[in-house]
Each structure stands twice: as structure tokens, then as C-alpha cells.
Amino acid sequence: MTEQLQTGLIRISDDVVATIAGLSALETPGIAAMSGGISEGLAKRLSGKNVQKGVSVEVGQLEAAIDLRVIVKYGIPIHEVCRSLQVNVRESVENMTGLHVVEVNVKVEGVAFKEEEVIEQDPHRVK
């Protein structure tokens, strides 16, 4: 985004919009991780400073379009998680940048299952 003011020019880079979108996505309940794409048959789960992975943006003068690739948590309705994700990302980007977000496209690339607890049993314990 580029905005000309009487005091000077304001530019918001694509990377900034992608970072805002990625962080907002990770804060959405039901989203386990961003997906970096399919590599060698496995979805790479990314978080932290790699939040731009799994996020593609197209930023114009006044508008932005955002594509997200995510991994959702098992057991939560995917369509509900994705609708919340779209709203959260749209609101975050619009509030922080002033850009109008024309679309937030979501591609679910995986489901994260809860890790099973491994309980070590004491071999000397009487059952």
C-alpha cells in the first residue's frame, strides 16, 4: 500500500501484511499451525518467526487479497474454524493497515491430532 500525504509517503510492504495475517491466523481457536506446503508428502508445521509461511498476499494501493494454508485441530468443525479465521484475519489486517481486504481464501492442508499420552506403568505395581 502506498499513500501520499502532505507530509510524505507511507508504504506498507507485502511482508508486513503477511506477518499480520499469519499472526492473526495462529491466534484463531482451532488453528493448529500454518502449513508451508506439502514437501516429501508431509505438511511442514510452522509458527513463531515463520508466520509468513503459509500466507500469500497481493497488496494494491487500497486493497489486499490474502491466501492462507493451515492445519486445523481435530474434532472442531472445519467450516466454523475457517469462517472465524477469515473474520479474524480480515479485521486484523484492515485495522492495522487501513487496507480493504477483498478476500481471505483458506486452504486446509492437514488435521492435527492430539498426541496420545503415554503412561508408563510400574512393573512392580499390583493390578
**Mean pLDDT of the residues in the chain:** 81
Q: What is the pLDDT of residues 39-90, one digit of tens each?
A: 433 444 444 445 578 999 999 888 999 999 999 999 999 999 999 999 999 9
pLDDT at 114: 73
Domains of the chain: 14-35+53-112 (3.30.70.1350)
> What own/partner pairs with CB < 8 Å and gap ≥ 24 does 82-86 have?
82/106, 82/108, 84/28, 84/29, 84/30, 85/25, 85/28, 85/30, 85/31
Torsion of CA 97, 102, 107, 111, to 10 degrees: 50
